Copies of this chain bind each other. A is one copy, B any other.
């Protein structure tokens, strides 16, 4: 690996001059520029990003924390964030927190130790206090899918209460009165918010909420199956089932079929998130769009604007509104 020093020797100029043509910030005469450039080319010179970072205190890379590296939801998130950042010459360093406080913490510390210029976090397990400290430290931070008090300007969230409301409202509008619900793990804010929206829609329609109509799942497919089975016992007459995410909806659909229910003639199902595979399901899942794509883009633009002085092409917004994606699993009664 050639170094800047060898280039300077080959070009017969000083080290500083080579640095100047690399960064193009100071004046360099056309002639010396040519000399340097051809020297770089013939040596196959590539700057050492590590050394550049140490000297300039800039890494041109932003850290991204997700909960998992697999799954459509995070795939979409990583993909969009990387896209807009790379388009602007910035790189992304991705880590996974696995929804575990210790591991999330470690992942964030890793990103900090790599001196990322900014952090984009989908942090679920770490405390609000920790996030506040982080935001008040040197490194610019934004948080996705989590609203932290006093940090509104750093958070990008979807209105989960409204999403939950819309899902159940759609079922109600289709004529359903006995509506079961499979929630996510309720210690998670998004899960409890969605459930709150569900209750609100029920109430508004004059329907009473029966605690037997709910099952607490874990956002994974298998708990959708479990939930479906459980609910058949505790709340046998439901004609519609709202699930707090698409994975569980998929599991519920499987269980429903195994129990002999045709969808949607015998049972209607509504999901949440609108992940990619929801349209591959059969019947195609009616669900609530979680604008993860838009949130990821916005977070990336925030970073570009606040850290790299690259103005965002769109106004920065922090609250995103979900909407119903009407497909084939919700039937009218």
Contacts and interface: CB of A to CB of B under 8 A. Distances in A.
A70 B59 contact: no
Nearest to A68: B79
A2 interface: no
A209 to B, nearest CB: 30
A114 interface: yes
Interface residues of A, number: 44
B93 A93 contact: yes
A192 interface: no
Interface stretch (A42-50, A302-310, A311-319): A42-50
Contact of A71 (B75, B115, B254): B75
A248 B54 CA distance: 47
A277 interface: yes
A74 B51 CA distance: 31
Contacts of A74: 75
Contacts of A113: 46-49
Interface string A58-100: 0100000000111110111011001000000001111110000
B46 A50 contact: no
A93 B91 CA distance: 10
Nearest to A263: B282
Contacts of A48: 54, 113, 115
A135 to B, nearest CB: 16
Task: Name which of A50, A93, A113 has the most chain B CB atoms within 10 A of its CB.
Answer: A50
A320 to B, nearest CB: 19
Interface in A191-206: none
A69 B59 contact: no
Contacts of A257: 282
A27 interface: no
Given A50-B115, A70-B276, A91 B79 contact: no
Contacts of A127: none
B69 A82 contact: yes
Contact of A277 (B68, B115, B277): B277
A114 B95 CA distance: 16
A286 B112 CA distance: 45
Interface in A230-282: 250, 253-254, 257, 276-277, 280-282
Interface hub of A78, A115, A221 (most chain B Cβ within 10 A): A78
Interface in A111-144: 112-115, 138
25 contacts: A1-B138, A49-B113, A49-B115, A50-B54, A50-B59, A50-B114, A54-B54, A68-B75, A69-B78, A69-B94, A70-B75, A70-B79, A70-B276, A71-B75, A91-B95, A92-B95, A93-B94, A94-B94, A221-B280, A253-B282, A254-B282, A277-B280, A280-B281, A281-B281, A282-B282
Given A50-B54, A69-B82, A75-B75, 11 more contacts: A1-B138, A46-B113, A48-B113, A50-B53, A51-B54, A69-B75, A69-B78, A74-B75, A82-B96, A253-B282, A277-B277
